[in-house]
Structure 1
Amino acid sequence: MRVTAIALGASLLAVGAAQAQTAAPTWSPPPENVRCPSKWGAGDERGSANHMKPAAVVEALKLVKTGEVIELGHVLGQTMPFFGTRRFDVHAKRTFMNTGTNRRGSNEEIVVAEIGQVGTQFDGFAHQTVENSWYNCVKVDENVTRGGFSKYGIHGVGSLVARGVLIDVAGLKGVETLPDAYEITVQDLEDALRKQNLTIKPGDAIIVNTGWGRLWGKENARFVKSCPGLGVKAAEWLIAKDPLLLGSDNWPVEVSPNPDSNLSLPVHQLALVVHGVHLLENMKLDELVQKGVSEFAFMMQPLKIQGGSGSTVAPVAMR
């Protein structure tokens, strides 16, 4: 009986500990009366894209000294990593000969894809909610239509040109790729910036190298299973710097799974919903890292998908 009682007591303690963990997550979305209206004003739909002004473009282009352009986007194709039912299929429409003596042949294709959420992709504010509430506290039933989202459609973002800053955390650690599910800390960011002799300015496109992009198209199952990335504290620290966007070479920018098993991609809510900061995922950073480029002119434009939640993109760095 004593053994049974001890075992029962241990079980109850374990259940109690689990319940305590469930009841006290390490981060919770702030209530609406705290996060709304956003710092950009009630009714604002642009969030961090408000940094996109002529003066910011002029300052960014001053960084172009050689004219070198480095592509930061992966090629779209069927060898990409995919999540769930996301897909990217290309079906060629073969040549037909037009009338005329010059025998002009025409070729086209049909693309079947969740075009806003595959490849190197840019997240709009329609992509994420806190329960039934978007950025600036617009409600789900006020925003969803059969033809897309009434507010925060990716078509409204437009071109983004800014100073780009690459924070090489993998390089700081002396590795090509950070370990699976490694949580990047504030200390990591501070140390990397110090090592690279960089400072962050408001309106920067802040990009974090984890090395995870090296798995792209090679170890796809591992790529989507987990990834190193920003922890909540590190993301809060970067967002406090007032960036144009946060980007990385992994699929969610943040660490996954989160060290707190109660949380599901909290940085997505923190950035997109709470603060109105865009996320740029699945970037191709190997050339920037290889060439030691930490500061550059960043340029990108999402596809103008009416009412879309995001867009596949092909960003570039110019120096």
Structure 2
Amino acid sequence: MTAKGPVPTQDEVFGYFETLSNWGRWGDDDELGTLNLVTDEVRLAAARAVRHGRSVSCAWEITAPGEMERATTACPCTADMPGAEHMPPAFHADRRWGFSSEHVGLTFHGNTVTHVDSPCHLFWDGAMYNGRPHSLVDPATGSGWAAVTAAANGIVTRGVLLDVARVRGVPWLEPGQGVFPDDLEEAERQQGVRVGPGDAVLLRTGYGRARHESGPSGGITQAGWHASSLPWLHERQVALIGADTPQDVQPSGYDDVLMPVHAVALVAMGLWMLDNCDLEACAATAAELGQWDFQLAVAPVRFAGSSGSPVNPIATF
């Protein structure tokens, strides 16, 4: 499917840095960005979306190298290989009790690990969200602005799954296929749901099914949000977006901006992102129950100065 209306030009996408900007909207010292839209009232409404008591994970299991190595070999620039060193079992002298332990290290940004991006993850023209300079990111201590610890209290809001693969009647979107506002509104219509202020929108392209069946793709060509969806997300006042890919359709269709959704969302809008979700169980549960909204809970690890965190988003229906 292609957009029914005109696709924005590259200059128009660059214009989104101004027209969709939330700089100063919640004050000059704001680091939360669109998470300000998750008010107490929104959280209470999200609790009312729990109608069956069923909960599912929206994250991939993080394994020891192997699968991750295969996934990133073709693109070392996005390598995110966990290194899990499992220690041998240890026992007390009398062997009545023992324990197991491990040392885990990983780079979670990339194409495989489910993680949240905080606004300091990207810069544009040397600036981060709300006009702070990129120089606030220190190699030793991390970011002094809009780090993942801004969301230390967690993200609990209403989640809405928009299953575009299902709407298009395909098992999954092919790599390079973009998702446009028309797709989002058709998914709303077919699923009987409407995205509103403070919501988290999870986009299913079906890549999770392909990954379950064949393993990670290992490249950077992928289905995902087209840049033309950004004004729609801004108008609906979405607090968080997620996808079963790293968000942006690749190639983006624009020569001078590799990932326009990441760039505009994080830098201009302060829109937090959930990359690489596994939405298959969520989609199956939603279809079974006939319910496409739910309470979504995301609890980032409080890594000081970090531009994100591995997470296990939980959808409760």
Shorter-chain TM-score range: 0.7 to 0.9
Quick one: distance in 1 between partners of 2:257 and 2:314? 33
Quick check: 2:17–2:264 contact (8 Å CA) kept in 1? no
Q: Structure 2 matches for 1:124-143, cutoff 5 A?
A: 124-143=118-137
Q: Structure 2 matches for 1:85-104, cutoff 5 A?
A: 85-99=79-93, 101=94, 103-104=96-97
Quick check: 1:26–1:260 contact (8 Å CA) kept in 2? no
When normalised by structure 2's length, the TM-score is 0.86
Is structure 2 residue 245 aligned with structure 1 residue 250?
yes
- Alignment root-mean-square deviation, CA: 2.3
Q: Which residue of 1 aligns with 2:105?
A: 112
Q: Secondary structure of 1:60's match?
A: helix
Give the direction of change, closer, same or farther, for the CA distance of 1:272–1:67 in structure 2 (3 Å limit): same
Q: Secondary structure of 1:27's match?
A: helix
Quick one: distance in 2 between partners of 1:191 and 1:262? 30
Which ranges of structure 2 fall in alignment gaps of 5 or more residues?
1-8
Shifted more, 296-305 versus 146-155: the winner is 146-155
Is structure 2 residue 309 aligned with structure 1 residue 314?
no
Q: Which residue of 2 aligns with 1:299?
A: 297
TM-superposed CA distance for 1:157, in Å, is 0.7
TM-superposed CA distance for 1:176, in Å, is 1.1
Shifted more, 282-291 versus 175-184: the winner is 282-291
Quick one: distance in 2 between partners of 1:32 and 1:194? 31
Give the direction of change, closer, same or farther, for the CA distance of 1:34–1:277 in structure 2 (3 Å limit): closer
Q: Which residue of 2 aligns with 1:189?
A: 184
Is structure 2 residue 35 aligned with structure 1 residue 42?
no
Quick check: 1:25–1:262 contact (8 Å CA) kept in 2? no
Give the direction of change, closer, same or farther, for the CA distance of 1:36–1:242 in structure 2 (3 Å limit): closer
Quick check: 1:215–1:223 contact (8 Å CA) kept in 2? no
Is structure 2 residue 201 aligned with structure 1 residue 215?
no
Q: Which residue of 1 aligns with 2:273?
A: 279
* Structure ID, larger Rg: 1
Q: Secondary structure of 1:222's match?
A: coil
Identity of aligned residues (%): 25
Give the direction of change, closer, same or farther, for the CA distance of 1:220–1:128 in structure 2 (3 Å limit): farther
Quick check: 1:300–1:314 contact (8 Å CA) kept in 2? yes
Deviations 1:205-244 (A, max 9, x none): 1111110122336545635331111111112212221111
Which ranges of structure 1 fall in alignment gaps of 5 or more residues?
1-22
| Aligned counterpart for 2:159 among listed residues 150, 164, 180 | 164
